[in-house]
A and B are shown apart, each in its own frame.
Chain A
Amino acid sequence: MRMKALGSGFFAGYLVMAGGLSAHAAQEAKALLGLVSLRLLPDSATLWGARASQQFVLLGKYADGLERDLTSSASFSVSDPKRGTIRNPGQFVSETSGLAVLTAKVGNRVAKAALRVEDADKLRQTTFVPDVQRILTKRSCNDATCHGGVKGRGGFKLSLHGIYPKDDYKAIVAGGTFRVLTVEDHPKSPRVDPQHPEKSLLMKKPALEVAHEGGMRLEPGSPDYQALVQWIRSGTPFGDEAEMRVPAVERVEVLPREIVLQGGAQQQLVVTAHLSNGRQEDITEQVQYVTNNASVADVSETGVVQAKKKGETNILIRTPGYTLSADVGVVDKPIDEYPAIAARNYIDRHVFAKLRTFQILPSELSGDQEFLRRVCLDLTGTLPPPERVREFVADKNSQKRDRLIETLLDSAEYVDYWSFRFGDLLRATYVTSNNTKSTRAYQNWITNSIATNKPYDQIARERIGAQGYSAPARNFYYISELTTPDVLMPELIRLFMGRRIECSQCHNHPFEAWSQNQYWGLAAFFAGYTEVRDSTLIIDVLGGGHVDQPKDVMVVNPRSKQKVVPAFLDGTQLPPSEWMDPRRHLANWVTSHPYFAEATVNRLLSFFFGRGIVEPVDDFRSTNPPTHPELLRALAKDFRDSGFNLKHLMRTMVQSRTYQLSATPNENNKDDRMGYSHGRARPLEAAVLLDAITSVTGVPEKFEIHPIAGGGDAPVGTRAMHTITDICPSQFMDDFGRSTRRALPSGSPQPSLAEALHMMSGPVFNAKITREGGRLSALLKKNVSDEEILNEFFVAALTRLPTSEEKTELLQLLGQRSQRREETLAGLVWAIVNSREFAYNH
């Protein structure tokens, strides 16, 4: 039973006028107000077999820019009534073969769709694939928390969402009787009993005729129940692929894929399976719908989306082998006369188009000071010094932002900063069983790669495929504590392909169609690295003889105990002739895979915009869809076309108007977290923060070298971002959550009590502020006024002057403390460098 569309606020004014009309006419008249055009989805359909049905959705485009679901207010007709009839609003049911046109009419506006009915005399048999599998999926029987879990439930194991139909078929149909585990003295029943279908355990359990931990899943008498009974009675056919009676599903599509609704409005979804024989099948009622955020929009069992409150979410749609999603945006009242916003490049075009669709207004362009601080921190990890701030603000050149971007991209600080960031990602660290020479050689390789703007695919290839004495990136393997293939491999997939494949180490991936064999096949590319001799793990990355020999290029799948040879994710095995240097092939495969560019642009985007199109940035999966799929593809294409040019990618990002939007939200966009409608505050990394405090106080930080690396003081001029975690101890950076580089960084550091204690009583926030020779002591010596000191520190730390309110209040307090002026001024600097405004980039 489909829900009817509810009247929304948009129509409220008209309702009074329509008071005297018949209900349908009133609904129609209401729908016509402001209607610009109509479209029917899908625009054509082929129906196969007796009494096949197809759901259509009628969308009306309105003057306010929104599309509304008019399916239930329209009248539908079929050009040739012999072809079939209209059952529920928008649902066509076939009767005889042939062609026809479906017309939907609202007032005097119409939309049409082509219908083709084939083999209308042929009864379609219910088979295991796809019918039974669809029922099991729709009813969550094979969900990860039930029988689709790694171990199944109650002794009954199905593949997750039906991805392995043959195994599932065997589990259900193979002989044997089973006790109802929850009732001790219950007689054993077969899972399927063709003589008495209703007595099958497959029927009794979900219908709750016997105890079932999963509760009622299948109401007796429901169409799905009848279908299962009929399937068992007809001898549990699997489905004969050879006769093409059950063609494979090649693609599943949901319409509309992007929906914008006002609170309270509804939208019917239509889900279509595209089959290998070119036909399509309406499976709207055979799939499972799950909302990612029920407080924004809910969805019914039959695919009707109900908008709740302003926000954005996805509706996930599950059917065996496929998970897809529809994006739902719920908006307030549409904006009158949404303004035209000039785009600087394709990023803006994609972002602004979506904002417009979702009726969100972007913030204003950032002011010069806001932009300057943001871009300096993002490209170089440093604050602009006060004189540069004044210079930039005074510059009247209209191209000054682009010129600044070029200056920063060419600066030595850019190399420092991105060497540090990629040092975190590529994990340049010292570990216990290594010498510091390797660590430094590896970090130098990273630094040189950044300094020469080496194409990123080359960086990845050098790192993945490193072999022999001369390759500097081999030091990663040397210093890595991830010594076994089964841990080296998933890190690589996560870093360079943005996927988390770890779950499939021990079992098939619960949310993705990744099997354990694929996991171990990829891991086998690293098999040559390690060898266990006399219970001692030996690592050899220097090509010293015993590794990288064909005998080593295998790993053992711990579950099947079978040896696995190197194989790519699609199952293609590396031929034995190439086993001498398997990682070169792996490197080529990784960098030419579409995932590589997508994962890289997404990660970079999250650096500059505070959020990736997929978030977390290394968790691409079908159940975690991208917010801007077209933008992701466009960025990936641009990155590939540029020859994986990192600077080009960064330039494109920071030149966009989207990047340069103010961080001050407007009333309309203040709750937006996914649309890039305004600049977003991001915490400074521990090293950047320490360097920033150094630059504000004017007192260099002294770093020591750990005794393991030779001890002594670090060279003069060493900044925090030059340090390698374990070689330069730093209580400050540890407390502020620097990356240990022992694992890939995951998310930004969270506030902690250590950090708070450090702020109150740590030396960086106390002694450093007042030290002789620093900015404060120099200003005090110059005998300048409180106001000048205040201005100087605001500009140095926050790239802005104090507001008049701040100035009044702070100067007043300083005035009252004239007898302990120095102490209070030191307190002022403490307050500035402890503010969230200082500790974040925004």
Chain B
Amino acid sequence: MKTICGHCRGIPQTRRDFLRVGALSFLGINLSDFLRHRSAGTLALAGPAAVRSEAKAQSVILIWLEGGISHLDSWDVKANSGFRPVATNANGVQVSEVFPGIAKHMDSLSIIRSMKSDERNHPQGTIQTLTGHRPNPALKFPSFGSIVSKERGARNNMPPFVVVPTPTEGDFFNYQEAYQASFIGSEYDAMVLPDPSQPNFQLPNLNLPKTLSVDAIHDRRTMLGIVDRHFRQKENLAEFVKMDAFQEQALKMLLDPKVKEAFDLSRESDKTKDRYGRHRVGQSVLLARRLVEAGCRFVTAAGYKHGQWDTHDDNDKRLRDTLAPLLDRSLSALMEDLKQRGLLESTVVLVTGEFGRTPVINPKGGRDHWPDCWSLLVGGGGIRGGCIVGASDKDGATVAERPVSIGDLYATVYKALGIEWTKSYMSPIARPVYIANGFDDTLGTPLKELI
């Protein structure tokens, strides 16, 4: 007999964590186009969908609070919290006392206090929050980041969708579909990076062998052209063309010093690294800033370890001693940098986990899972800061005002990015899928309070 806790399993790492490198939108390029572009020395990306011109946002940073943050002890402090609410720099907006740094940036961030979802367990909740859909045995849905990547397209030779580091490490398989593009194409899968706080951090295979000269690379490609010509005359599959485009892209990444630079944290000063926090969490947020600056569309900073916010026991202590300080430090450093570098206008910042936590403290001093009513932070990229959307009841147990679905949240972010939020994709099983999937599979709508 074996026993597994249905959730929150303490699981050993099963394999060296793999890098799934997602890629750019090369679909739709035919061979002659490709060859023409290759001879011209450039490769045009398949154009992204039309973008509304008034949109300010270019990219999204999601700070992922793995395990589910207690809304009652953070953004919606109630009498049943062990913490006090404190004033912030935004008029009438209060947050928990454990976030003194974030309190100084609340004019740029808004709180949604009436999030409501369905799934009560981590893998399912993660999938719902990150795809807008409850898991379904017949269909896997594209990730939010994949949709943004597809709709806005890649830029500057950078991969559009990056997750850093591997989320839910040790049990990633059960969560993987939350970061995948599913039927919209593997080129929009998340590229998952290793832990950037490790001293030897680098992107695997992003370094050509030192002995390989540029001339030798050129020769290799010339010879590849000669060897493959015979076969290609017989058969030219769409996959070959796609592979050519990926090779071209890979070479550009390898030879473009800016790409390598974007992934190179050693270019940040010790002082900056300290400001974010010398830890998986802080360094992931710092890297997210660098990647967005370099051209990524959607970066998920997933520095918290598997289940780290999953405070079934010692909720208050864990929050006060570890969890909140890490978030307070990294998020305020990010907000400072984005403002100072003029990036806040073009970068949506989203801070959430997969659900909230129970209003009632359990016998172990913890809080359990609670999707019925929870809170998150969102701002930047033209999304209004300093607002509070919706409200919970007096215990934070149910939504009292303006229930907000994951789809409403997505629609708000899409609108900021200039993406047509009413779109749906046709899935391979002939079921249309809204990109902003709201309550009961209806269309979500942007929150007019915020955009």
| A754–B19 CB distance below 8 A | yes
| A432–B171 CB distance below 8 A | yes
Residue-by-residue, is A244-269 near B (CB-CB < 8 Å gives 1, otherwise 0)? 00000000000000000000000000
- A contact residues around B231 at 8 Å (CB): 835-837, 840, 842
- A contact residues around B227 at 8 Å (CB): 806, 810, 831-832, 835, 837
Report which of B9, B20, B186, B212 forms a contact with A433, defined as CB distance below 8 A. B9
- B contact residues around A500 at 8 Å (CB): 138
Q: How large is the interface on A (under 10, 10 to 19, 20 to 34, 35 or more residues)?
A: 35 or more
Given contacts A734-B18, A755-B246, contact A665 B6 (CB under 8 A): no
| A505–B14 CB distance below 8 A | no
Report which of A432, A664, A729, A740 forms a contact with B234, defined as CB distance below 8 A. A664
Q: Nearest CB to that of A755 among chain B residues? A: B246
- B contact residues around A734 at 8 Å (CB): 18-20
Given contacts A753-B23, A831-B226, contact A760 B251 (CB under 8 A): yes
In whole angstroms, what is the CA distance A171 to B333 when docked?
60
In whole angstroms, what is the CA distance A503 to B15 when docked?
32
Interface status of B40 (Cβ within 8 A of chain A): no
Interface status of B119 (Cβ within 8 A of chain A): no
Interface status of A544 (Cβ within 8 A of chain B): yes
Report which of B171, B185, B216, B247 forms a contact with A827, defined as CB distance below 8 A. B216
Interface status of A82 (Cβ within 8 A of chain B): no
Interface status of A742 (Cβ within 8 A of chain B): yes
In whole angstroms, what is the CA distance A665 to B171 when docked?
47
| A487–B19 CB distance below 8 A | no
- A contact residues around B237 at 8 Å (CB): 681, 836
In whole angstroms, what is the CA distance A490 to B206 when docked?
41
In whole angstroms, what is the CA distance A824 to B24 when docked?
31
Q: Nearest CB to that of B204 among chain A residues? A: A731
| A753–B232 CB distance below 8 A | no
In whole angstroms, what is the CA distance A465 to B120 when docked?
33
| B230–A837 CB distance below 8 A | yes
Q: How large is the interface on B (under 10, 10 to 19, 20 to 34, 35 or more residues)?
A: 35 or more
Report which of B22, B207, B240 forms a contact with A753, defined as CB distance below 8 A. B22
| B3–A536 CB distance below 8 A | yes
Interface residues of B in 207-246 (CB under 8 A from A): 207-209, 212-213, 216-217, 219-224, 226-232, 234-235, 237, 239-240, 242-243, 246
Q: Nearest CB to that of A430 among chain B residues? A: B14
Interface residues of B in 13-48 (CB under 8 A from A): 13-16, 18-24
Q: Nearest CB to that of B243 among chain A residues? A: A751
Most buried by B among A430, A751, A755: A751
| A759–B1 CB distance below 8 A | no
Interface residues of A in 519-568 (CB under 8 A from B): 532, 535-540, 542, 544
| A752–B253 CB distance below 8 A | no
Interface residues of A in 687-712 (CB under 8 A from B): 706, 708
Interface status of A209 (Cβ within 8 A of chain B): no
In whole angstroms, what is the CA distance A770 to B247 when docked?
22
| A431–B206 CB distance below 8 A | no
Residue-by-residue, is A726-764 near B (CB-CB < 8 Å gives 1, otherwise 0)? 100101001100001010000000111111111111100
B366 to chain A, nearest CB (A): 14
Residue-by-residue, is A825-842 near B (CB-CB < 8 Å gives 1, otherwise 0)? 001101110111100101
Report which of A478, A757, A836 forms a contact with B243, defined as CB distance below 8 A. A836
Interface status of B342 (Cβ within 8 A of chain A): no
B187 to chain A, nearest CB (A): 7
Given contacts A760-B254, A835-B228, contact A827 B223 (CB under 8 A): yes
- A contact residues around B191 at 8 Å (CB): 753-754
Q: Nearest CB to that of B137 among chain A residues? A: A502
Chain A binding surface, main DSSP class: mixed
A81 to chain B, nearest CB (A): 49
B443 to chain A, nearest CB (A): 14
In whole angstroms, what is the CA distance A753 to B244 when docked?
10
In whole angstroms, what is the CA distance A444 to B104 when docked?
62
Interface status of B430 (Cβ within 8 A of chain A): yes
Given contacts A433-B9, A753-B159, A754-B20, contact A809 B254 (CB under 8 A): no
In whole angstroms, what is the CA distance A708 to B11 when docked?
11
Given contacts A706-B16, A751-B246, A754-B20, contact A809 B226 (CB under 8 A): yes
Given contacts A536-B3, A664-B234, contact A752 B23 (CB under 8 A): yes
| B138–A502 CB distance below 8 A | yes
Report which of B216, B247, B431, B432 forms a contact with A759, defined as CB distance below 8 A. B247
Interface status of A766 (Cβ within 8 A of chain B): yes
Given contacts A503-B138, A750-B242, A760-B254, contact A729 B15 (CB under 8 A): yes
| A759–B219 CB distance below 8 A | no
- B contact residues around A532 at 8 Å (CB): 6
| A837–B228 CB distance below 8 A | yes
- B contact residues around A754 at 8 Å (CB): 19-21, 23, 191, 205
- A contact residues around B185 at 8 Å (CB): 750
- B contact residues around A580 at 8 Å (CB): none
| A432–B186 CB distance below 8 A | no
Report which of A145, A536, A835 forms a contact with B6, defined as CB distance below 8 A. A536
B205 to chain A, nearest CB (A): 4
| A756–B249 CB distance below 8 A | yes
In whole angstroms, what is the CA distance A824 to B221 when docked?
11
- A contact residues around B6 at 8 Å (CB): 532, 535-537
Report which of B2, B232, B429 forms a contact with A539, defined as CB distance below 8 A. B2
Interface status of B257 (Cβ within 8 A of chain A): no
B304 to chain A, nearest CB (A): 19
In whole angstroms, what is the CA distance A432 to B14 when docked?
6
| B187–A824 CB distance below 8 A | no
- A contact residues around B221 at 8 Å (CB): 831
- B contact residues around A753 at 8 Å (CB): 21-24, 159, 187, 191, 246, 249-250, 253
Interface status of B170 (Cβ within 8 A of chain A): yes
Residue-by-residue, is B156-183 near A (CB-CB < 8 Å gives 1, otherwise 0)? 0001000000000011011000000000
Most buried by B among A735, A761, A832: A761
- A contact residues around B5 at 8 Å (CB): 536-537
Q: Nearest CB to that of B205 among chain A residues? A: A757
Interface status of A213 (Cβ within 8 A of chain B): no
In whole angstroms, what is the CA distance A664 to B243 when docked?
21
In whole angstroms, what is the CA distance A663 to B231 when docked?
10
- B contact residues around A837 at 8 Å (CB): 227-228, 230-231
- A contact residues around B92 at 8 Å (CB): none
In whole angstroms, what is the CA distance A806 to B227 when docked?
7
- A contact residues around B16 at 8 Å (CB): 706, 729, 731
A627 to chain B, nearest CB (A): 19
Q: Nearest CB to that of B441 among chain A residues? A: A151
| B12–A708 CB distance below 8 A | yes
Interface status of A823 (Cβ within 8 A of chain B): yes
In whole angstroms, what is the CA distance A840 to B240 when docked?
10
- A contact residues around B2 at 8 Å (CB): 433-434, 478, 538-540
In whole angstroms, what is the CA distance A803 to B242 when docked?
26
- A contact residues around B253 at 8 Å (CB): 753, 757
Interface status of A208 (Cβ within 8 A of chain B): no
| B20–A683 CB distance below 8 A | no
Q: Nearest CB to that of A793 among chain B residues? A: B227
Q: Nearest CB to that of A823 among chain B residues? A: B216
Interface status of A672 (Cβ within 8 A of chain B): no
Interface status of B50 (Cβ within 8 A of chain A): no
Query: 4 more A-B contacts (CB under 8 A) besides A683-B239, A750-B186, A760-B217?
Result: A537-B4, A731-B19, A756-B250, A831-B221
A-B contact pairs, 20 of them (CB 8 A): A433-B11, A478-B2, A487-B137, A538-B3, A706-B16, A750-B242, A753-B22, A754-B20, A754-B205, A756-B249, A757-B253, A803-B230, A813-B226, A817-B219, A824-B216, A828-B223, A830-B224, A831-B226, A836-B243, A837-B231
Shortest beta-carbon contacts, A-B, top 3: A753-B23, A754-B21, A837-B231
